[in-house]
C-alpha cells in the first residue's frame, strides 16, 4: 500500500504537471488581467505539449527507459530536447512581444538546464524535488508567505522518489538545494543587476 502511495505522489507531482499553472500565475501577477494570463498560458502549454509528445515518442522508441528519464546517461538528450523547444518558445515570445516575466522564467529554465547538464556527469539530482522547491520558494517571494505552507510537499516528494527507487537521499537533497539556489541566482540577476521589479 505504501509503495502505491509513493508512486501516486511521484506521478501527481511530476515536474511536467507542476509547471502547467506557472505561466498563468506569473502573467496574472504582472498584468492583473486574467484573460491575458490565460492567452499566454495556452501559448506556453502548446510548447509544453510538444515537449511531452516528443518525450513520449522517444520513450516508445527506446531512447528513454521511462517517462521520468530516470537514467542520468539519458538526461543530456532530454536537456537538449527541452533546450530546442525553449529556443522556439523564446522566438515566439519575442515575435509576439510576450510578458517580461515569461522571458525571465525562460532564462531560469536555460540556467537550470545548464546546471543540470553539468551536474548529470557527477550526480543524478532529483528534478521532481528541484522543481517543487523552486516553485514554493519563488511563489513565496512573489506572492507572499502563504506558499510556505506547501513546504511539507518537498520531503513528501523526496520520500516518494526514494521509496520507488528513482533516487537516493543525496540526489533528493541536491535537488532541494538546486531548487533554492537557482531561483536565488535568477532573482539576484534580474532584480539587483538589471533593476527588474519582481
Q: Looking at 24-28, 78-82, 119-123, 152-156, which range is the least confident one? A: 119-123
Task: Convert the pLDDT of each residue in 63-78 to its tens digit.
Answer: 999 888 878 888 889 9
Task: Convert the pLDDT of each residue in 75-133 to its tens digit.
Answer: 889 989 999 999 999 999 999 999 988 988 888 888 888 888 787 777 788 989 999 99
Across the chain, what does the average pLDDT equal?
Answer: 88
Q: What distances in angstroms separate CA 131 from CA 7, 35, 112, 179, one per listed residue?
A: 17, 26, 10, 6
This prediction has a pTM of 0.82
**Banded model confidence at residue 28, pLDDT cuts 50, 70, 90:** very high
pLDDT number for residue 193:
67
pLDDT number for residue 155:
94
> Looking at the predicted structure, is the pLDDT value of residue 34 above 60?
yes
Across 105-119, 130-144, 167-181, the highest mean pLDDT is recorded for 167-181
> Looking at the predicted structure, is the pLDDT value of residue 197 above 60?
no
Cell numbers found for residue 24: 498563468
pLDDT number for residue 194:
64
Average the pLDDT over 147-171 and give the result.
91
Amino acid at each position: 500500500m505504501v509503495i502505491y502511495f509513493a508512486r501516486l505522489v511521484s506521478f501527481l507531482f511530476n515536474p511536467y504537471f507542476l509547471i502547467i499553472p506557472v505561466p498563468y500565475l506569473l502573467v496574472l501577477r504582472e498584468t492583473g488581467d486574467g484573460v491575458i494570463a490565460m492567452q499566454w498560458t495556452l501559448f506556453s502549454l502548446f510548447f509544453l505539449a510538444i515537449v511531452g509528445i516528443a518525450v513520449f515518442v522517444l520513450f516508445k522508441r527506446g531512447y528513454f527507459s521511462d517517462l521520468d528519464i530516470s537514467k542520468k546517461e539519458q538526461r543530456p538528450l532530454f536537456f537538449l530536447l527541452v533546450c530546442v523547444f525553449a529556443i522556439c518558445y523564446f522566438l515566439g515570445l519575442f515575435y509576439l512581444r510576450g510578458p517580461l516575466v515569461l522571458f525571465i522564467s525562460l532564462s531560469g529554465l536555460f540556467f537550470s538546464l545548464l546546471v543540470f547538464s553539468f551536474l548529470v556527469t557527477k550526480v543524478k539530482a532529483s528534478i521532481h524535488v528541484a522543481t517543487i522547491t523552486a516553485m514554493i520558494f519563488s511563489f513565496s517571494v512573489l506572492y507572499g508567505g502563504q506558499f510556505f505552507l506547501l513546504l511539507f510537499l518537498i520531503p513528501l516528494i523526496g520520500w516518494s522518489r526514494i521509496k520507488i527507487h528513482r533516487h537516493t537521499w543525496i540526489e533528493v537533497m541536491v535537488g532541494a538545494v538546486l531548487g533554492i539556489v537557482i531561483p536565488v541566482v535568477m532573482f539576484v540577476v534580474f532584480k539587483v543587476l538589471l533593476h527588474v521589479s519582481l
